[in-house]
A and B are shown apart, each in its own frame.
Chain A
Amino acid sequence: MSPPGRPKGEYRSAQQDTSPASLDRSVRLHPNGHATMALVLVSLALAAALLFSPLATPEAPVGPLFWLLTVALAVLAVVGIRRLAAMETRRIYSSLTAALLGIWILYFWQLLVVANDVPRVLLPAPWLILQSLLDNIGTLGNDFVQTVAKAVVVGWLLGCSLGFMVAIAIDRLPFLQRGLLPIASLTSAIPLVGVAPIAVMWFGFEWHSKAAVVVLMTFFPMLVSTLAGLQASNRLERELMHSYAASYTRTLWSLRLPSATPFMFAALKVNASLALIGAIVAEFFGSPTSGLGFRISVEATRMNMTLVWAAVVVAAVTGSLAYTLLSRLERRVAFWHPSVRGSK
């Protein structure tokens, strides 16, 4: 297949660009797999040594030796990541590559910020952020309960179930569907968070107003996706149900709802991050004395940036955790669906 005189490896790499997902499992491990791992570990050890050396303290002036070592480390880091990325046999290497990049970025952030004595207001070092997170774990825990456990969870559940129920309700009314669907799709272009001040006026400063904003933001995506999902079963399948003389509810339950699950889970996942954004931004408009959004906005005006970063970390971890949990749940519920089986 490959043109004569062209090395096989080069041809393969040209192909890989198009379909990186189709990893060829028969290819053997990168010949220097162990060497790469050793390189990565050694460079990490060197990096740690530099970080704890007297060169990288705020007191020591940043001299050419420090920059030389830093640049050398950066080269080592890039080489390590490149070599790790070139290995393609096992899935674990992909996640390892991404994790390594994360580690290096955090490392250089820490190293450069500490060595150059960057003011905390501008950019606090990751270690300080972690410390602030641990020191204020009680406050942030309260904020978490206020924002996530109350506003986000309640609003998300209410908004998603309302969207789902309305979709089921108007499923048999094509006239209403044709009227509602274009309007519901248009709402994605509208900054719905803007209703936050009105929600605060109506429902007070407590979490109820944030939950109301979240309900509004999550309702339309769920409605649109569920309606799209209910149309997802194909004609052949519906005709089969018809020939079994299945009732409307039976068809809905046994065919159309199951085939709608991937659509609904997509909406649930999008809504999880929308709900977090909605609750946090709504707290910028007015809130009681706790909540992640309140913490972020108040501590930012006080220039207490380490705590702001810590609150952002809490929000980010919550978002990705919610996404992971929902993906797991999707695999459990819709394990039979081609979209789930294909991704495994």
Chain B
Amino acid sequence: MATTSDPAARSSLAQTLRVQGLPVAVVLLLIFVSWYGLAIALNAQGAIERDLADTAWTWKDLVAASWSMERPVLPAPHQVLLDLWESLTGWPVNSPRNLLFHTFVTAQSTLLGFAMGTVLGLVLSVCIVHSRTLDKALLPWIVASQSVPVLAIAPIVLVILGSMGLAGVAPKAVIAMYLCFFPVTVAMVQGLRSPQVIETEMMHTYAANRWQALWMLRLPASLPFLFPALRVGVAAGLVGAMVAELPTGAQAGLGARLLTGSYYGQTVKIWSALVMSALLGLVLTAAMAALERIVLRHRRQA
């Protein structure tokens, strides 16, 4: 809504920035300040014991030491940013020391699984809407699965696919796929059913067959339901891909990076992997939001 091309909308964007930008900036500043404060509080003891043990130190030294420890309890934001910067610029992109490499590995399996899960969810929802049997027999199970921690079967999927000789991207993509598939199916069934009775009756009076009604009425009507589900799905798929990277011997990917960091107690590395995965999640969700805006743009003008 905020980024359509007409000037009225653009001024409303400026207003949103004015109304929201300042509060968000203040909250972010508060978070940073309390992060630095917390870093002093949590690291002080270790800093006194290890870095300042045999010197006469003042408060200034303590603060400086607790913000620059090698293995802090809580690294200060600039340490994390510095580590990120070094990892991104100090090594070639295809080196396992570069976080971009791991991000790429995770993003690849997330997107592959997301695409498969979305297609599967779309096909299944179309089938459910057109078949009373599937609607009555299958849909309750798909809805119920929303309350079940389906991520728990990730190790099972890994073992099964592993014993079938599949390794690398495929198992991770499968796990991301089934996590994306549930929300997309549920939302699309809802969306495909959203047309009013009067609209379906009109298709009926035009003697439209089921496919025409699906293509011209139901699918367009379901798009507002689809995109929120895509955002949920891509975020769930990212979690799935990262969890799938845990037991695979921890070679590549952000999840593996988190695990190796926790094995070797490299706190700063864990935090930079976390920041990277948060950024990846935000980028993927933002991409979905952008896609939504592009696809639904014409609808608003009409």
Contact = CB atoms under 8 A, between A and B. Distances in A.
Q: Which of A13, A189, A319 has the most B CB atoms < 10 Å from its CB?
A: A189
A320 B239 contact: no
Contacts of A194: 242, 254-255, 258, 273-274, 277-278
Contacts of B235: 188-191
A179 B147 contact: no
Contacts of B152: 276-277, 280, 292-293, 296, 311-312, 315-316
Most chain A beta-carbon contacts within 10 A, residue among B152, B243, B255: B152
A20 B27 CA distance: 46
Given A17-B129, A197-B258, A280 B149 contact: yes
A322 interface: yes
A198 B140 contact: no
Interface stretch (B5-13, B49-57, B85-93, B279-287): B279-287
B274 A183 contact: no
Contacts of A186: 282
A169 to B, nearest CB: 14
Nearest to B24: A179
B27 A180 contact: yes
B229 interface: no
A136 interface: no
A122 B247 contact: no
B149 A98 contact: no
Nearest to B282: A189
Given A190-B277, A296-B155, A97 B149 contact: no
**Interface range for A:** 35 or more
B153 A191 contact: no
Interface residues of B, number: 70
Nearest to A98: B140
Contact of B160 (A122, A197, A200): A122
B24 A190 contact: no
Contacts of B265: 201
B28 A98 contact: no
Contact of B147 (A14, A20, A320): A320
A285 B259 contact: yes
Interface stretch (B165-173, B195-203, B291-299): B195-203
B95 interface: no
A183 B32 CA distance: 13
A309 B153 CA distance: 8
B243 A281 contact: yes
B184 interface: no
B138 interface: yes
Nearest to B146: A273
Interface in B200-227: 200-201, 204
A100 interface: yes
B57 to A, nearest CB: 25
Given A81-B137, A189-B282, A300 B204 contact: no
Interface of A: 11, 13-20, 81-82, 84-86, 93-95, 97-98, 100-102, 119, 121-123, 175-180, 182-183, 186, 188-191, 193-198, 200-202, 269, 272-273, 276-277, 280-281, 284-286, 292-293, 296-297, 300-301, 303, 305, 308-309, 311-312, 315-316, 319-320, 322-323
Given A188-B232, A297-B155, 13 more contacts: A17-B130, A97-B133, A183-B28, A189-B231, A191-B238, A193-B239, A194-B255, A196-B258, A197-B261, A277-B151, A281-B151, A281-B239, A300-B158
